[in-house]
Amino acid sequence: MPPRTAAARTSVGGPLPSGALTGADERRLPRTLHPLAWWIWALALATAVSRTNNPLLLFLVLAVLGYVIGMRRTEAPWARGFKYYLYLALSVVAIRVVFRAIFASGVTPHDHFLFSLPHIPTPDWYAGIQLGGPVSLEALLSAAVDGLRLACMLCCVGAANTLANPKRALRILPGALYELGVAVTVSISVAPQLVQSVQRVHRARRLRAGRTKGLRALRGIVVPVLEDALERSLRLAAAMDSRGYGRAGRATKTSRRLTGALMLLGMCGLCAGAYGLLDASTPKFLGLPALAVGALLCVAGLRLGGRRITRTAYRPDPWRFEEWAVAACGVLSATLLFTNVGFDAAELNPSIYPLSWPTLPLVPTAAILLAGAAGFLAPPPLPVKRPEKAAK
């Protein structure tokens, strides 16, 4: 396959540095995995996480995410963000625990009493919410585990953002959603660029022996950074305009209106279908039929809207064995957790009232470790060229 080799050669920029890749990776050709494969993998893992409340399995998921990111992260700006997702996850857990302590759900005689917050009495007609009061170990633990589950799902999305190239991901969006995709891509790239900008201004101030700490220095940093951001957005707008972004193409007014109507109706159908599926007391036709009709309308709308966008075939993202393997790892692990085969469903949700040690069911553990296989199934990332790094 000549094009593949050529592409790899040019991007690597010469022979591979020896020892850059571990063991078996040395024999493999570095390339970036299809972003959709990473997204499927991560979302499947998040789905698997939503099934369990077992802290042991949740910690295992975090470890697996850390392993895969450690193995397959690139050096791109978006690939350095996982740390911030971890901070976000921690704050989610902390907020959950604090709220459970303040809005006490009550202590029972069987609980382990920890401490007592000042109780603010509420009138009888407002008795639904209790402020303060005794707090038990069980209440805090259940809040922490609940928060940990949400944190894990956040980290899964964070891992997808870290591993997949958001700009390449734009290509796989349906044509009709391409304005949305452009907006999302621009907004995704804002945060890393802001960080770079702050660092640059900070360094410039230090070189001029200016203040780098304190409130006055903050003004000196914020103003240039904002200016920088404005200038860059204008530059970006000009560049996009000159490349023909935002033009309506060959779409006529009626076709645009038809697309809009189809999409709107389709979305309404999807909403009604989801509601019908989740609420058992709604009439039957609101469930699966509405969902199917909504999906059909949406697909038609996307098809119709996508016709006005022509896409380049330059540098296509290939979908090869590795992509299949990574996506299958994630999907298989979610499937195993949802099928309840070989383990007791109660083990996924260990009891906190009364307090007991969580167990480590074998099949879910194996399923989560299987998701971790993506760490060596995916091709190794492209190594960074030295001069580029020095120039940064």
Nearer to other proteins by Cβ, of 127 and 341: the residue is 127
Residues touching other proteins, count (CB under 8 A): 80
Shortest spacing between CB 61 and other proteins, in angstroms: 10
Interface with other proteins (CB under 8 A), residue from 43, 62, 225, 290:
62
Tokens of 91: 């704050």
Question: What's the per-residue H, E or C state across 317-383?
Answer: CCCCHHHHHHHHHHHHHHHHHHHCCCCCHHHHCCCCCCCCCCCCCHHHHHHHHHHHCHHHHCCCCCC
Q: Could you say which residues in the range 88-127 bind other proteins, by CB under 8 A?
A: 90, 93-94, 97-98, 100-101, 105-111, 114-119, 121, 127
Contact assessment for residue 272 and residue 290, using Cβ atoms and an 8 Å cutoff = yes
Q: Does 214 bind other proteins (CB under 8 A)?
A: no
Q: Does 360 bind other proteins (CB under 8 A)?
A: yes
Residue type, 171: R
Shortest spacing between CB 238 and other proteins, in angstroms: 35
Interface with other proteins (CB under 8 A), residue from 30, 35, 266, 358:
358
Q: Could you say which residues in the range 170-199 bind other proteins, by CB under 8 A?
A: none
Tokens of 164: 């997949």
Question: How many CB atoms are located within 10 Å of the residue 266 CB?
Answer: 20
Tokens of 23: 């063991």
Shortest spacing between CB 213 and other proteins, in angstroms: 27
Name residue, tokens 């005689």: 109
Residue 78 DSSP code: G
Nearer to other proteins by Cβ, of 217 and 355: the residue is 355
Q: Does 19 bind other proteins (CB under 8 A)?
A: yes
Interface with other proteins (CB under 8 A), residue from 30, 35, 133, 294:
133
Q: Does 35 bind other proteins (CB under 8 A)?
A: no
Whole-angstrom Cα distance, residue 79 to residue 160?
Answer: 10
Q: Does 205 bind other proteins (CB under 8 A)?
A: no
Q: Which stretch binds other proteins (CB under 8 A): 67-75, 217-225, 250-258, 311-319?
A: 67-75
CB-based contacts of 291: which residues, under 8 Å, 6+ apart?
269, 270, 272, 273, 274, 276, 277
Q: Does 59 bind other proteins (CB under 8 A)?
A: yes
Interface with other proteins (CB under 8 A), residue from 49, 68, 153, 304:
68
Residue spans of alpha helices (H) in the chain: 2-12, 35-51, 55-72, 82-102, 137-163, 166-172, 178-188, 190-207, 215-242, 253-278, 288-306, 321-339, 362-372, 374-377, 386-391
Phi/psi at 135 (nearest 5 deg)?
-125, 135
Q: Does 275 bind other proteins (CB under 8 A)?
A: no
Interface with other proteins (CB under 8 A), residue from 280, 341, 390, 391:
280
Shortest spacing between CB 200 and other proteins, in angstroms: 23
Q: Could you say which residues in the range 298-357 bind other proteins, by CB under 8 A?
A: 344-346, 348-349, 351-357
Shortest spacing between CB 198 and other proteins, in angstroms: 24
